[in-house]
Structure 1
């Protein structure tokens, strides 16, 4: 065996030697003759990788220094990423700078609109790469000393969204140069439109041959990239297929601005959300907060207001001090000059509120500097907040803000001021304030009146940018009687919060002689308190100690209804839009009295020479809508629930059923005001000029009200309340009251007119719809809005209640038919009888 192995080895060596000899012989045989020059060896391609800095950033470079040093070399854009900037959180805010006017664009697609927002980090990768990671703070473990921190880190890797070759390293080897030309010339979800916004604007792919980079400017904390992008655009669907044309498609060109803003190394100290003093929030899931689970954490969004170090002791002593950096809003230079002072005043009105937090001159508005004053100032520069004027038909204004997701610190805000908001203000003020203010009794207000309305809306929108949401329950703190007390309401205002949708004091009657101070909204007690809670510094305390202090502040003020936040959930009658006072039925009775007072006067007020009746129709439609809203306020009382946010160290309940007396009062109000035909709306002089006889506004209005009264949700709340409490509005008693209000003629055998017949048919159809709801639509990509509560609760008492009500009504109808000689009434009751039969016996 061993000998065979030695033989195999010898044969292998011999073979190898033969191969070597053969190869050598062949080499000699193919060698070139003496004196011949061998061919040149091909040169290896240049080694890829960074070049010397001077070869990349040449003498041709146009350089700007800032957060990122920016170089333009020929048609290339290169930026330096300093090592000190690597792994820092950078907020990317994308806005439209210039836009094509599109009346179908809704609330998006105008200059100044934010279209995307991200947090990114630049980091070094292997092989001379720079990566961009897209950072999310939705899951968080902020304490590196706790055991969950490492687990969250390794299971929450952030995605790499882009990669760049390092073109050169800086001379001090403390930074990297990358070429972003192609990245910003194309389209991506980081620097341009968010997919959802793109879809809303019907934008398709970017067209490179019609897109380009305008400029890149850089500042100490931000870099601004301005590009022109042309997208394909799909046609808008026709509002009425076959009758109205679709919107145009083709191309859409936008000028876009991308702001890269470096966030603080150390985030601002957060203030944790409290339901009882609500703010807008940023949320994350914290794996450290609950040792036996996870906890969703909400921190409020607010500006960083801090006293100067030398003023801290003064503030502790209660002296007012100026912040290190005040909140400043600039007015868009395109704003009509006559409105600028009122917009500025609307911002400055908040200064008094910040004094409650210990700051003076904490917030202010300024006109934008001209190019001669500051050539570097730009509306798109993320260092500046602004009120942006938009030439839009949208009757609205909005106050969004951009914040640091780690702490809630508000970085900047662009308030959207749409031109046509003035039309909305005219209608609101005319309808709600004309009984008290003669200046409101015309189609076009004088500049001072409109200016004061603009000031009010400016203050409201600024409140949103400070972090404050709507407090729709604020107005419920004011007793209705005080709204007619001239001295009281002019001194205190008609609502404690400008963040309510309280609009104007529509309760005041002409004879009350209440002036503008008692008519207009103003920054009130709740606003002052909420700013104090959110912005007053608490020094030298841990997070837990601060929470305890804030809780004591809230508890000390909680029993004052003017200082309470009430969440709008659709079931609490205190928290509704466009309502006033602590009793909506009393307040709205005054409101309806005012509507009746102005109705015959409208045509005289709105008689614009040479104009058609568009304005008269618009205002009349607003009056009908206002009346319906007043009725809706009362409907909410029925099956209503008061919800008062509380902590475990506060006495009393969180949920309280609205007292039976108030629910019955609401039902009586609805019966009187709308179920009895509101003939005052049928002002013939107006209808003959604005509304075709084919339109039946009254019946439509009444049917909508019935949809609110007869719905599963309301009936179920009445049933649930009866299960919990003895002295409440029983569902069977409620349905009897609705039936009696709709069918009052059956008891008196009075002839039933057309409006009442329509109402009674609508009642039967509404009840029938709840017993046999329409099936959900199949197929298609649209959605359905369920009016008046949809669905069916087959396993509850609702079907039994409805069927019992119909049987009782059927018996009353059958008994009444022989007593009627009026033909249409008899036909109507026979029809109702047959309809009820079909509902109760659908197979017959």
Structure 2
């Protein structure tokens, strides 16, 4: 009994303790269970969101969630160099946003982590320096902060961070816009419509990712400040983020005597006084698979060939010449021990990873717009000049251009081109040349406008010479087809070579491996020696394209041979023959539209012959020369060549009435005779040569002087008057121009405004708008489209005005690398006005002696000139 009571009491007293113990055990169990169910992380919450689309890659992963783009960056890639590029994939207006084109150079950037933020830096790759100056360079040339992104989450093992980059790809980001702000002479203002930037597909690969977006812009177009149009533009753009190689290509220091596109650098070194500016050559990373075999003289394949993909949108008949234009360059690579460097493939149909707008793929793209051209831009690793990506853009109307070229330049000798449409074999060989020129650009070669001047004109009539060398040592010249060859010159080649001597030389300099573990500077010395060996040989001479200052008559576009007058004589004979047969050769042209285009092209070709010769007058040959090797950096065109050229042009102008062939032009719409318009335009240029002659004579030991120039002008223009002949319409145009310019110059001597000078702008060597159009200096075709308006602007502001505006607004031509010859101011030694005043007096005396005996029409003309002269005296 007692034991039971005691036991019961014990249970009563112990009960709270037991209950407490049981509660504690339950609590411990719950805590353990809660610990086993880990708390959901920010990363997991983000990845669980509905509708997530993910593209995972070794480099970056992309997550598209609720219309936003999240980038997952492995931290190991922080600090690595990247390129971000934007390519237009689709467009509602390919003149404004061109399919396949990268409007702006890719961004060179890095991601860096700073606390809870990822910063996107613009990399300053231009500045380099000695090892001992690293601290100073780091402090003074730091990379700029471009964008910053709050870290949204870390992955579960904290090796990657996730952040929102949506705005960069759907916002109005200037650096990635598909619309150019300037398009030749047009200013284009574009603004993304609010809410009209939308993400599309995302992809991820081993070393890059791509983000597609649809963008709609409001745009307006202005022409010299005047609004001429507006509208909406919708584009699909592909942005690539590409990881640049950690092991950089060994760069190659450029030599200004070889025409190569460049990547500019600056070097701070104690080995030289001051900061050193130099440039690296742009080139593909081309390395032999077997270096020992290459050194033994065997042909070897590259580690990585240069692969080109041919757009599936091309007309089927164009694809074969496109492939040939790529493979042609293997000839040059085989000369330096490589085989199968250039590869041409169709767009793959069974490769889900292929995307022509990805920066990893180099493509030849078809742009169906009415531009008569093609172009071949490339994009590089800014650290080394390694070409990462290239594109050849082929515009639809390039076919129209080659049709015109082949007819106007070769119909005198080639019956195949005497029709409205070229046969396929001619189309193929012509297209292959055009496209091979553009492929040359993508390999790093600039234009070499001096090349064709290396060949004697008469050699271009030789079958043996032209079949061996073609029409020029370089297809990177604008030497087209053989307009020198005459009817009866059997077997003469009419087209440029497949590969010129200079082209092979440039490819050797760019891509030939240099054995041994030599430094960049040591290799530069070897490469310099290769160029030294060819110095003074005109076949290997490089002549810069002269866009803003056209000094050198031996480095012009659209010319052939070493003598402009002789080549012009041959060319003019052919033009006369072609014009005589134009109606009979071109059938099925009831509206005459095709004949009108060919006739206009024929007149332009004649105009080029005159301007080619006229560039000799006051001309100066310019050559990049290294001290101690053959050649002269600058040399005035010989006196006899200048004088012969001026007289030849004046004679041609006075005898150019053959252009007005009535059985051809009478079928065209109403217009002023072409010969008269030509006399007026070229005639104006005759009176704009004085300052060029002044500079040329200043640097010459046997000068063609201002006195010689004005005497020859007077004798040529007033020959009919002096000999008492009836004046032609052309005579009257030239004589009026002579009086106008003499009055303007004489007014300056007398401190009077006089008449309006034909040369207002101080741009004596700048091209006129007509020259820009005639020589293809504006690849967009806008100059041709607005030619009448631009001529009016030049009339108001002076020759060179449009070129000056283009220089400020839009880079065209190969001008940004080695630079160009700037205008030399000769005002301190200019006596042109005095010579003009003397000439004006001679004109006045001549007219007074001749007017009494002149016929009625000529007498009125002379009286009007005398009234102009008398008016300037008051």
TM-score range, shorter chain: 0.7 to 0.9
CA displacement 1:602-647 (0-9 Å, x = unmatched): 11222215x4111111111111111010000000111111122111
Local SS of the residue matching 1:285: strand
Aligned match for 1:812, one of 834, 837, 846: 846
- Residue 640 of structure 1 corresponds to 619
- Residue 644 of structure 2 corresponds to 665
CA displacement 1:681-705 (0-9 Å, x = unmatched): 010011111242x514222211222
In the alignment, is residue 567 of structure 1 matched against residue 544 of structure 2? yes
Contact 2:479 2:496 in 1 (8 A): no
Contact 2:417 2:423 in 1 (8 A): no
Local SS of the residue matching 1:389: strand
Alignment of 1:94-243 (within 5 A): 94-101=86-93, 105=95, 108-138=96-126, 140-143=127-130, 145-147=131-133, 149-193=134-178, 196=181, 202-234=188-220, 236=221
Local SS of the residue matching 1:146: helix
- Residue 453 of structure 1 corresponds to 430
- Residue 615 of structure 1 corresponds to 594
Contact 2:88 2:178 in 1 (8 A): no
Do the aligned partners of residues 528 and 205 (structure 1) sit closer, same or farther apart at CA in structure 2, a change above 3 Å counting? same
Structure 1 CA distance for aligned equivalents of residues 64 and 183 of structure 2:
30
Per the TM alignment, residue 399 of structure 1 is displaced from its structure 2 partner at its CA by 0.5
Structure 1 CA distance for aligned equivalents of residues 838 and 46 of structure 2:
87
Do the aligned partners of residues 722 and 313 (structure 1) sit closer, same or farther apart at CA in structure 2, a change above 3 Å counting? same
CA displacement 1:645-687 (0-9 Å, x = unmatched): 111121443211111121122123212212x231210100111
In the alignment, is residue 353 of structure 1 matched against residue 353 of structure 2? no
Do the aligned partners of residues 403 and 122 (structure 1) sit closer, same or farther apart at CA in structure 2, a change above 3 Å counting? closer
- Residue 527 of structure 1 corresponds to 503
Q: Single out whichever of 646-655 and 594-603 deviates more from structure 2.
A: 646-655
- Residue 41 of structure 1 corresponds to none
Per the TM alignment, residue 333 of structure 1 is displaced from its structure 2 partner at its CA by 0.9
CA displacement 1:137-185 (0-9 Å, x = unmatched): 34x0244x132x3223212233322221212222332221112234433
Structure 2 CA distance for aligned equivalents of residues 76 and 682 of structure 1:
66
- Residue 473 of structure 2 corresponds to 496
Do the aligned partners of residues 59 and 792 (structure 1) sit closer, same or farther apart at CA in structure 2, a change above 3 Å counting? closer
Contact 1:321 1:360 in 2 (8 A): yes
- Residue 583 of structure 2 corresponds to 603
- Residue 82 of structure 1 corresponds to 74
| Structure possessing the higher relative contact order (Cα contacts under 8 Å, 6 or more residues apart) | 2
Contact 1:330 1:366 in 2 (8 A): yes
CA displacement 1:362-384 (0-9 Å, x = unmatched): 112111111xx212211112111
- Residue 740 of structure 2 corresponds to 765
Structure 2 CA distance for aligned equivalents of residues 630 and 101 of structure 1:
37
In the alignment, is residue 834 of structure 1 matched against residue 867 of structure 2? yes
Do the aligned partners of residues 349 and 437 (structure 1) sit closer, same or farther apart at CA in structure 2, a change above 3 Å counting? same
CA displacement 1:217-257 (0-9 Å, x = unmatched): 111121111000112233x469999xxx95452x3211111
Contact 2:88 2:236 in 1 (8 A): yes
- Residue 657 of structure 2 corresponds to 679
Do the aligned partners of residues 627 and 787 (structure 1) sit closer, same or farther apart at CA in structure 2, a change above 3 Å counting? farther
Per the TM alignment, residue 125 of structure 1 is displaced from its structure 2 partner at its CA by 4.1
Local SS of the residue matching 2:727: coil
Per the TM alignment, residue 118 of structure 1 is displaced from its structure 2 partner at its CA by 3.6
Do the aligned partners of residues 667 and 122 (structure 1) sit closer, same or farther apart at CA in structure 2, a change above 3 Å counting? closer
Aligned match for 1:264, one of 235, 245, 255: 245
In the alignment, is residue 321 of structure 1 matched against residue 308 of structure 2? no
Contact 1:286 1:296 in 2 (8 A): yes
- Residue 391 of structure 2 corresponds to 414
In the alignment, is residue 368 of structure 1 matched against residue 347 of structure 2? yes
Unaligned runs of 5+ in 1: 1-49
Structure 1 CA distance for aligned equivalents of residues 124 and 179 of structure 2:
15
Structure 2 CA distance for aligned equivalents of residues 122 and 495 of structure 1:
45
Local SS of the residue matching 1:383: coil
Structure 2 CA distance for aligned equivalents of residues 238 and 198 of structure 1:
10
- Residue 722 of structure 1 corresponds to 697
Structure 2 CA distance for aligned equivalents of residues 297 and 238 of structure 1:
37
Do the aligned partners of residues 679 and 525 (structure 1) sit closer, same or farther apart at CA in structure 2, a change above 3 Å counting? same
Q: Single out whichever of 760-769 and 51-60 deviates more from structure 2.
A: 51-60
CA displacement 1:732-770 (0-9 Å, x = unmatched): 112111111111122211221333112211222234445
In the alignment, is residue 54 of structure 1 matched against residue 44 of structure 2? yes
Local SS of the residue matching 1:626: helix
Q: Single out whichever of 392-401 and 696-705 deviates more from structure 2.
A: 696-705
Contact 2:618 2:695 in 1 (8 A): no
RMSD: 2.7
Do the aligned partners of residues 784 and 132 (structure 1) sit closer, same or farther apart at CA in structure 2, a change above 3 Å counting? farther
Alignment of 1:274-423 (within 5 A): 274-288=255-269, 291-308=272-289, 311-370=290-349, 373-423=350-400
Contact 1:118 1:134 in 2 (8 A): no
Per the TM alignment, residue 198 of structure 1 is displaced from its structure 2 partner at its CA by 9.8
In the alignment, is residue 756 of structure 1 matched against residue 714 of structure 2? no
Per the TM alignment, residue 273 of structure 1 is displaced from its structure 2 partner at its CA by 1.6
Local SS of the residue matching 1:173: coil
Per the TM alignment, residue 194 of structure 1 is displaced from its structure 2 partner at its CA by 6.9
Per the TM alignment, residue 54 of structure 1 is displaced from its structure 2 partner at its CA by 2.2
Aligned match for 2:856, one of 808, 813, 823: 823
Structure 1 CA distance for aligned equivalents of residues 222 and 111 of structure 2:
45
- Residue 4 of structure 1 corresponds to none
- Residue 821 of structure 2 corresponds to none
Aligned match for 2:448, one of 464, 467, 471: 471
Per the TM alignment, residue 75 of structure 1 is displaced from its structure 2 partner at its CA by 4.1
Local SS of the residue matching 1:449: helix
Structure 2 CA distance for aligned equivalents of residues 120 and 520 of structure 1:
39
Local SS of the residue matching 1:510: coil
Local SS of the residue matching 2:556: coil
Contact 2:372 2:395 in 1 (8 A): yes
Local SS of the residue matching 1:494: coil
Tell me the number of residue pairs that the alignment of Structure 1 and Structure 2 aligns.
766
Contact 1:284 1:296 in 2 (8 A): yes
Contact 1:491 1:518 in 2 (8 A): no
Structure 1 CA distance for aligned equivalents of residues 836 and 322 of structure 2:
54
Structure 2 CA distance for aligned equivalents of residues 583 and 51 of structure 1:
79
Unaligned runs of 5+ in 2: 1-39, 762-789, 802-824
Q: Single out whichever of 55-64 and 127-136 deviates more from structure 2.
A: 55-64
Local SS of the residue matching 1:809: helix
Contact 1:699 1:759 in 2 (8 A): no
Aligned match for 1:512, one of 468, 484, 489: 489
Structure 2 CA distance for aligned equivalents of residues 367 and 724 of structure 1:
55
Q: TM-score, normalised by structure 2?
A: 0.83
Structure 2 CA distance for aligned equivalents of residues 672 and 112 of structure 1:
49
Q: TM-score, normalised by structure 1?
A: 0.86
Structure 2 CA distance for aligned equivalents of residues 110 and 683 of structure 1:
41
Local SS of the residue matching 2:488: helix
Structure 2 CA distance for aligned equivalents of residues 164 and 239 of structure 1:
40
Per the TM alignment, residue 511 of structure 1 is displaced from its structure 2 partner at its CA by 0.6
Structure 2 CA distance for aligned equivalents of residues 545 and 792 of structure 1:
42
Do the aligned partners of residues 702 and 289 (structure 1) sit closer, same or farther apart at CA in structure 2, a change above 3 Å counting? farther
Structure 1 CA distance for aligned equivalents of residues 608 and 489 of structure 2:
24
